[in-house]
Amino acid sequence: MTRNRTYVLAGVVVALGAITGAILLEVLGTILFAITIAYVLAPVQRWLVRRGASEWTAGVLATLVGFVSVLAVLAPIVLTLYLRVDEVVAFVRALPDEFSVTVFETTMTLQSTEIQSFAVSTVQGIAGSIATAAPVLAVKFALFVLLLFGLLLKGDAAARAAVAPVPREYRDIVFALATRARETLYAIYVIQVATGVATFVVAYPFFWMIGYDAAFMLAIGAAILQFVPIIGPSLLIAPLALYHLALGDLVTAALVGGIGIALIAWMPDVTVRPQLAQRSAGLPGSLYFVGFTGGLFTLGAIGIVVGPLIVAVFVEAVELLADEVNGDRPLEELLETPDADSGERSESELERDLVSESETEGAGAGVGTGTDPEPDIDPRSSDDVPPSSD
């Protein structure tokens, strides 16, 4: 197959893919979610094949792993927002209508009635949306499972088709970008989910011992907030501590603000994350936060995954470009002025010219050749020009 024919077929695939994406826009988030999950579970499927399972059986087992994992993460959230919505609303309405805060002997009173009304309406709206969209969610979940199985079963064929139009000398770039994407998805799914589970295990008994009626709901919230980079469960712990501080319950405020931050927001990060971070993308937390927030506000829930993924692949592309252009040259060398560089080069070139001239003169003197040197002929002198053969 000629290269032009390959490019034409690649263009046809891209065009048809764009049309397909436009038609399937309503389920595009589900498709992207299934693709990213399949990318993470592909090593599991290959591992099962190496252990003697058929490709079909390995695909079924890997799909089952993904199904159970997603169900274990999403089910508590849905059940908490739908089945226990009354407890959530009661907890919000139990908050005081006003808070008094004293700063430098000045007392300020903060009204919370409007905030309570907004929070209650938001929670009730989410619960109503879940109940209304339950049939659609069931269909999307079935689509997710079927698509996940298909990608795991025929993922290698899709990868070969994607790489085929790329010239061989550029496939190392594709491999580097694919590696960064896989590491980023591993960090998002495996590390974040494992850290969230550990957060729930620690948070539930802590909130129960403090005496919260909605301890399970708060633990679920802390686990979900682990997906928010940098700040994480602190978004939940800090308001709870301030709430007890406003009520004058200094002991509970100190327990929640001190021990709660250490156990729930800090300990899972330092115990679970380092154990799984060897295969992570190594993306700085600030860039991960940019991708998380930007993706969430732009694409919705799927942006939590797509945002950091795009940022990580972009950073990898920038690093590849920098290595291609600059190599291993240090920053100081790259920032040197051209005048200084040209001056240094001219001096070194002058030294090399002097050395080469001395070597040429030594060779012209016939040193070590055993022959008489030929006379030098100056083309500008007519006396030295040999007579014509005519």
pLDDT tops 70 at residue 136: yes
- Binned at pLDDT 50, 70 and 90, residue 61 comes out as very high
Give the CA-trace dihedral at 279, 282, 288, 289, to 10 degrees. Answer: 110
Q: Which two tokens stand for residue 325?
A: 């252009």
pTM of the model: 0.65
Distance of CA 8 to CAs 11, 13, 14, 19, Å? 5, 9, 10, 17
d(CA 83, CA 81): 6
- Supply 314's token pair: 């972009």
Provide the CA 305 distance to its chain's centre, in angstroms: 8
- Run of H or E residues at 102: strand 98-103
pLDDT tens for 95-120 read 666 666 565 666 666 666 766 777 77
Contact 307, 293 (CB under 8 A): yes
Provide φ and ψ at 98, rounded to 5°.
Answer: -150, 150
For residue range 178-235, what is the model confidence (pLDDT) as tens digits? 888 888 888 788 877 888 888 888 888 998 988 887 788 888 888 888 877 667 788 8
